[in-house]
Structure 1
Amino acid sequence: MASLIGEDGVVPRPRSKLPVICAAVLGGFMLLCAWLLDSDRFIEKAVIMIFCFTVETCIHSMCLFAEEWLFHAKQRYHGRISRIFQSCFRRHAVLGLCVIFIMLMLSGVSISHDQWSTMAIMCAVYLLLKSLGILGPAPVEISEICEVRKMNVAHGLAWSFYFGYLKFMLPDLENKIATYIATRERLSSPRLHILLHLNAAVPSKPEEEDTNVVFYNNLPELVLNRAGVRKRSYKNSIYKISGQNNEMYYCILEYATPLETLYKMSHESSAGFGESERKQQVLLFYRTLSQILENSLECRNHYRLVLLNDEHTGDPHYLSKEIIQHLKQQNGEIHMDPVQELPQDRVVHPVPEEGPMRDYNAAVWGPISEEPLNSIPSLMISHPRSLRSEPVETTDDYNQHNARRF
C-alpha cells in the first residue's frame, strides 16, 4: 500500500482538461463577437479562415513528409510510403481540407484577388513562425504529452523497477519473513519500505544519513535464474531503528535504486537532463510506481513508499523519524482478514416457526430439521422434467366435475 504523509502537497496530480475548456469558451465568445460585428459575411469569412488554416497545416506536413521520405524511409519506415504519410499528415486536417474545398466549390463562393493575397500571406507567416519554433508547443504541453503517452524517463525506470525486481520479490516477501521470525524476533512491519529522496540521492548505507538507523540482519535469499545468470540471489536487509524513549523498531528498508540513474543523468551533459527536471522526474517516478503497485494484486500490501523531503537535511535524525511515523501509521490501519468458520458454540441455528405456518410447511415440505446448518454445501440434483409441461387445472369446479365422473 502506497501512502505518503502530506503527499498532496508534494506529488503533482495528473493535468486536467481545463485549458481545453477555457480555449473552447473563449473561442465561442470571440466567434459571437465577430458575428455581432459583421453577421452578413460571418459564414463566408469563417469558411475561408478554416480553409486557410487547414492549408497551412497540410503545407507544413508536406515539409515533414519530404524529410522523412528522403532521409528516413528505409531506416524508420522500411520503405513504406503509407506509414510516412500517416506519421506526417493528420487525418482530421486532410479531411477538413477536402470538406472545406468541396463546400467552396458547391456553394459557388467567389474568392477575390485580395482574399487570395491574404490567404497566401497567412500561410507564409504561419510557416515562418512554425519553422522558428514560435508556434511550437509550450513546455507544459510537451510535459503533458510525455506524461499521457508514458514517454518520460521516470515511466521507463518505474516499469523496469517493477518487472525487473518488485514483481517477483514482493510476492515472496511473506514467505521469507515467516522463515525469519520462526527463529528470531518479530518485525515491526511485514512490508518492504522503499525510500525515495526528492534529490534522487541514493547513499550506499542508511547509517550515512542517520545514525539511528543501523543494519541488523538479512532475510533469507531469493535465488532465481534471470537473464542468463544462473542462481542470481536477491536479498533484503532488516534495520534497527532507534526512537524516542529507547523504543526499538525492526523493519525492512532499501532505497529505490533507479533514482541513482536519475541522479547520475542530471550530472552528465550528454544526457540532456538537468537538475531542474530531476525533481519532477522523481515525483513522476513515485506516482507511476505507486499506481503500478496498487494495480498489482501480487504486490499489494507488501510494500510502503516513503518519500523523503530534502528540506529537512538539517535534522540528523529525519530519516528515522519519518520511518517511525510511517510504522505508527501502519499500526492504525485496518486490514481485511480472510473469512473464517465460526466455532461450534457460535453456530447459528434456524428459528423454528410457530402457529399454523409450521403445520402447513410440515404438510407440504415435510418436517423441518432443527439441526445446525452445515458449513459444507451439498449438491442437490432433482429428477429431470420437461421444460414444456402442460398447464394443470386446479380450480374447484374442475375438481368437483372430475369427482362426479368417478
Structure 2
Amino acid sequence: MSAMGEDTLIPRARSRLPVMCAAGLGFLTLAFAWLLDSDRFSERAGMIAFGLMLERFIYSICLLAEELLFHSRQRYHGRISEIFRACFRGSGILGMCAVFLMLTLGGVSFSEEQWSTHNLMCAGYLLLNSLGVLGPAPVEISEICEAKKMNVAHGLAWSFYIGYLKLVLPDLEEKVREYSSPRERLSSPRLHILLPLNARVPNKPEEEDTNVVFHENLPDLKLDRAGVRKRSYKNSVYKITHNNETFSCVLEYATPLLTLYQMSQESSAGFGERERKQQVLLFYRTLSQILDNSLECRNRYRLILLNDEHTGDPHYLSRELFQHLKQQDGEIFMDPPNEVHPVPEEGPVGNCNGALRATFHEEPMSGNPTLMFSPPQSLRSEPVETTDYFNQSNTVKRN
C-alpha cells in the first residue's frame, strides 16, 4: 500500500445494492396494490406486465431495422440469427407470450379501452426513449463498462501487463543481480512504477524533482517479439536523495498514462479531465488485480500512486519514494555475491537491523532438531507464494 492511502481513493467495484433495493421496493408496492384491490389484482398485474414487455418488444423491432439495413454484413456476416439475438431478449419475448396466454386462458379478454391504454403506453415509451428520458443513467453506463471490462483503462492495463510487465518482471531479479555484482547493491530489487493521478508523465523524473537523479540502465532484456528480432527492453536505475540519505532503485512511470493524457487533449476522443482521473484510478485498480494474480510478477513490483495536489512541494516525488523504500526496508534482503542465505519463501530465521540473516553450523546429529533450508531457486520454474502478508504471518507464528 502507498503512503497516500489508496483505500480512500481507489473506487470499489459496484455491488448489487440497487438491484436488491429495486426488488424490495417492487414487492412492497405489489403488496400495497394487492391490499387496495385484491379482487382484480391478478388481472391488472398481468395486463400491466404484458404492456411493459410489449413496449420493449416494439422498441427492439426498431433496433432490428437499423441492424438489418446497415450492419448485417459488416457486423454479423449476414447471419439473421445473430441479429435477432443482438436485438431481442429471449426471456422478454417468452415472458410476453406466457403472460398473454395466461390472461387468455384465464378468461380475461382485452377490451377496446385496454388496447387503447396499451397503445398509449407504447407510444409514450417510444417517444420518451427516443428523447433519452428513459435511457440509462451515467452510473449505469459506468457499471456496465466496468462489469464487461469495456473501459479504456481495462485495455491499457492488460496491454501494459501482457506486452511489457509479464516479460520484464520475471527476469528483473537476474538483471538486478548482474547489476549488483560489480557495483553497489540497490536499496530494493523491485520495479517501482509511478502512476500520477493527473496522468502527466514527464520524460525525465528530474523534471519533477531534482532529488531524483538518473544513474544508469540495467542490462538490456532482448526478445524476439511480434516480428522484431532482439527487441530491447530497458529499465533505469535512479538515485533518490532525502534528508541527506541516498537510495537507489529501479524506477519508471506507467507509460499507458501518456495515452490517457493525450486522449484528454483531443476533442474528438470525448475524454475530459474528470473522465481521465477516473480512468487512471481504474487503471491502477485493474493493474493491481492483474499483478496480484500473477505468480511470475508477484513481489517484483511496487505501484506508487502519486497525488496531483502537491503544488508548492518541489520534492514531493523523492519524499514519496523515500517512504516506499523505508516500508520495504527489512522486507527484502539482497544476497551479496558468493553467499548463500535461506530462501525467504520458507520463512525468516532471524531479523538483525531490518535484514534477514541466518548462520549454519556443521554439527553432529543430536537430540535438538535443527531447521534445514534449501538454496534459492527461481520462481519461474516453481511458483511459490511469496507475498509480504505470507512472510509476516509466518514471522508471527514462529515468534
TM-score, structure 1 as length reference? 0.83
Deviations 1:168-188 (A, max 9, x none): 100000000011111001111
1:67 partner amino acid = E
Q: How many residue pairs are counted as aligned between the two chains?
A: 354
Equivalent residue runs for 1:340-359 within 5 Å: 345=363, 349=367
8 Å Cα contact 2:128-2:134 kept in structure 1: yes
Q: Would the alpha carbon gap of residues 207 and 140 (structure 1) be closer, same or farther in structure 2, given more than 3 Å must change?
A: same
TM-superposed deviation, 1:206: 0.4
8 Å Cα contact 2:197-2:277 kept in structure 1: yes
SS of the aligned residue for 1:311 comes to coil
Deviations 1:370-398 (A, max 9, x none): xx9x999xxxxxxxxxxxxxxxxxxxxxx
Q: Would the alpha carbon gap of residues 128 and 310 (structure 1) be closer, same or farther in structure 2, given more than 3 Å must change?
A: same
Find the counterpart in structure 2 of residue 134 from structure 1. Answer: 133
Find the counterpart in structure 1 of residue 380 from structure 2. Answer: none
Distance 1:334 1:177 in 2: 13
8 Å Cα contact 1:200-1:259 kept in structure 2: yes
Distance 1:50 1:206 in 2: 62
Distance 1:114 1:62 in 2: 25
Q: Does 1:322 align with 2:329?
A: no
Distance 1:50 1:330 in 2: 61
Which of 307, 326, 344 is the matching residue for 1:337? 344
Distance 1:288 1:346 in 2: 53
TM-superposed deviation, 1:273: 1.2
Deviations 1:311-347 (A, max 9, x none): 1132110000001111111225489824499865486
Find the counterpart in structure 1 of residue 395 from structure 2. Answer: none
TM-superposed deviation, 1:26: 1.2
TM-superposed deviation, 1:4: 5.8
Distance 1:317 1:276 in 2: 26
1:287 partner amino acid = R
Find the counterpart in structure 1 of residue 32 from structure 2. Answer: 33
TM-superposed deviation, 1:113: 2.0
TM-score, structure 2 as length reference? 0.84
1:9 partner amino acid = T
Equivalent residue runs for 1:1-400 within 5 Å: 5-244=4-243, 246-331=244-329, 333=331, 337-339=344-346, 345=363, 349=367
TM-superposed deviation, 1:278: 0.3
Q: Would the alpha carbon gap of residues 209 and 99 (structure 1) be closer, same or farther in structure 2, given more than 3 Å must change?
A: same
Q: Would the alpha carbon gap of residues 12 and 4 (structure 1) be closer, same or farther in structure 2, given more than 3 Å must change?
A: farther
Deviations 1:272-300 (A, max 9, x none): 21112000000000000111111111000
1:26 partner amino acid = L
Distance 2:364 2:57 in 1: 77
8 Å Cα contact 2:153-2:280 kept in structure 1: yes
TM-superposed deviation, 1:5: 4.0
Distance 1:350 1:315 in 2: 58
8 Å Cα contact 2:176-2:218 kept in structure 1: yes
SS of the aligned residue for 1:16 comes to coil
Find the counterpart in structure 1 of residue 390 from structure 2. Answer: none
8 Å Cα contact 2:43-2:103 kept in structure 1: no
Distance 1:320 1:87 in 2: 53
1:337 partner amino acid = P
SS of the aligned residue for 1:305 comes to strand
Q: Which has the larger radius of gyration?
A: 1
User: Which stretch shifts more, 247-256 or 98-107?
Assistant: 98-107
User: Which stretch shifts more, 28-37 or 189-198?
Assistant: 28-37
SS of the aligned residue for 2:108 comes to coil
TM-superposed deviation, 1:224: 1.1
Instruction: Structure 2 unaligned segments of length 5 or more: list them.
Output: 334-342, 350-359, 375-399
User: Which stretch shifts more, 260-269 or 21-30?
Assistant: 21-30
Deviations 1:93-123 (A, max 9, x none): 0110111111112111122222111111111
Instruction: Structure 1 unaligned segments of length 5 or more: list them.
Output: 352-371, 377-406
1:94 partner amino acid = I
Distance 1:9 1:303 in 2: 22
TM-superposed deviation, 1:250: 0.4
8 Å Cα contact 1:54-1:94 kept in structure 2: yes
Distance 1:334 1:375 in 2: 17
Distance 1:127 1:375 in 2: 73
Aligned identity (percent) is 67
TM-superposed deviation, 1:350: 9.7
TM-superposed deviation, 1:136: 0.6
Q: Would the alpha carbon gap of residues 264 and 135 (structure 1) be closer, same or farther in structure 2, given more than 3 Å must change?
A: same
Deviations 1:180-222 (A, max 9, x none): 1110011111100000010100100000010110111111111
Q: Would the alpha carbon gap of residues 105 and 348 (structure 1) be closer, same or farther in structure 2, given more than 3 Å must change?
A: farther
8 Å Cα contact 2:72-2:79 kept in structure 1: yes
1:285 partner amino acid = F
User: Which stretch shifts more, 330-339 or 49-58?
Assistant: 330-339
8 Å Cα contact 2:3-2:323 kept in structure 1: no
